[in-house]
Amino acid sequence: MSPAGGEGRLLVRDLAQLATPAGTDAPLRGSALGEVDVLEDAYVLCAGSVIESVGPMSELGAIDGEVEELDGRGLCAIPGLVDCHTHACFAGDRVEEFALRAAGASYEELHAAGGGIMATVRATRAAGETALANLVREHRKWMLRAGTTTFEAKSGYGLDLDTEIASLRAIVQARGVPTWLGAHAVPPEFEDADDYLDFALSEVLPAAAPLAEAADVFVERGAFDVAQARRYLAACADAGLALRLHGDQFTELGAVELALELGSRSIDHLEATGADGVAALAGSDVAAVLLPASALFLGRTMPPARALVDAGAIVALATDFNPGSAFCESLPLVTSLAATQLGLSPAEALGACTVNAAHVLGRADRLGRLAPGYAADLVLFDAPDWRYLAYHLGADLVAGVICSGVRAELR
Ligand code: NIG
Ligand code: FE
């Protein structure tokens, strides 16, 4: 059956189950994160790029006018997944470092020796704008195959004017949500972090701000300290960008306090966050973006997800897809890690990578739910129960993805 175009109507019928975060609120905190509406024997009717109605098949009345039909028998539908933290704009790989790490080298040692992020910066600078655009498109396809219909992607592997701008353009061209990670690492041509920030803020920010929606900084020993991050983020906020931070990945340096002080959209990682950080985030509007694939890939302790949800913090889940610390584009795998390593229920994991992830990207009014008026973004997967999303570890269950009312080409 041929699918409807974004202009027509598409009926997905006879679904084994349809699961969607309940209600219309965003962000979801505390017990609301785990509230999922499940319909058995269900349909979704899309009109153009928007959902017109959802419900049980028994309530599907006659539909006037032309409609394409898609057979949903044996399939479950959930909202298109939202990946709110990726580094999808990179060239090359770090498979050699991966093998060294498997033999005992640490991520921090490789970074200090000029490998790590800087190895990818060298490859990304050498790639050129066209190759970068092709790479982001390819990475987008990997994500789509795993059910991601909206992805954020950061620059941060250029760290010079031309490559940072080419990276943001490549992300925009691939219809990603662009974040300027101008403060990811200090490239070797600069004396120190302050010297590099002088350049980044005076030369790159004016060109990056019209392209990007947000700015991000890596607050860590060997990257940027809190004072440097404050200076960088304050300038980015003045230029109209929303703020994000990589914080508490290896050490608590005060990134949570800075995120609260500046009214950041999110702080991401939090593997090293203690009880005070959890309490501070719970009492704030700063979202905690948790990246368990990165903690797994680097063999670190997992972030305090259960404590954050129970205390009432806004918790989102993302992949952190990048060539060094999380070569993983699969949000279904992240939901499995959430259920097995973070102590979240499958329902909480679903809310965290739909509604709350959309909130981090400022799009929760239209993304993250299967309900009338939301974007017609759906994942169809081969399973008798929607919780197979998290339960079937590492499986490739995605049978179809509908993006803005159009069935996406997956292969
Ligand atoms: O989120 N921690 C900083 N940045 C990335 C890793 C980037 C890399 O290793 O290339 C992260 O884990
Ligand atoms: Fe990251």
Contact 70, 399 (CB under 8 A): no
pLDDT at residue 3, as a whole number:
41
181 alpha carbon – ligand 2 mean position (Å):
9
pLDDT at 74 over 70: yes
Residue 178's Cα: distance from chain center in Å? 11
DSSP letter at 305 equals H
Ligand nearest to the CA of 83: 2
Q: 193-201: long-range contacts at Cβ-Cβ below 8 A with a sequence spacing of 24 or more?
A: 193/223, 193/224, 193/225, 193/228, 194/228, 196/159, 197/224, 197/228, 197/231, 197/232, 200/159, 200/232, 201/231, 201/232, 201/235
Q: What percent of the chain has pLDDT over 70?
A: 99
| Per-residue model confidence as pLDDT tens digits over 77-105 | 999 999 999 999 999 999 999 999 999 99
Answer whether 324 contacts ligand 1 (Cβ < 6 A): yes
117 alpha carbon – ligand 1 mean position (Å):
7
Whole-number average pLDDT of the chain: 96
261 alpha carbon – ligand 1 mean position (Å):
24
Alpha-carbon torsion 62, 63, 68, 73, what sign? negative
324 alpha carbon – ligand 1 mean position (Å):
6
Protein residue whose Cα sits closest to atom 5 of ligand 1: 325
Alpha-carbon torsion 329, 335, 340, 342, what sign? positive
Helix (H, G, I), strand (E, B) or coil at 134: helix
| Per-residue model confidence as pLDDT tens digits over 171-185 | 999 999 999 999 999
Protein residue whose Cα sits closest to atom 12 of ligand 1: 325
Distances (CA, A) of 287 to 11, 218, 231, 244: 35, 16, 21, 9
Answer whether 248 contacts ligand 1 (Cβ < 6 A): no
Instruction: Tell which atom from ligand 1 comes closest to the C-alpha of 320.
Output: 1
359 alpha carbon – ligand 1 mean position (Å):
22
Answer whether 180 contacts ligand 1 (Cβ < 6 A): no
pLDDT at residue 28, as a whole number:
98
pLDDT at residue 4, as a whole number:
41
| Per-residue model confidence as pLDDT tens digits over 32-50 | 999 999 999 999 999 999 9
pLDDT at residue 6, as a whole number:
64
- The encoded tokens of residue 43 equal 């349909």
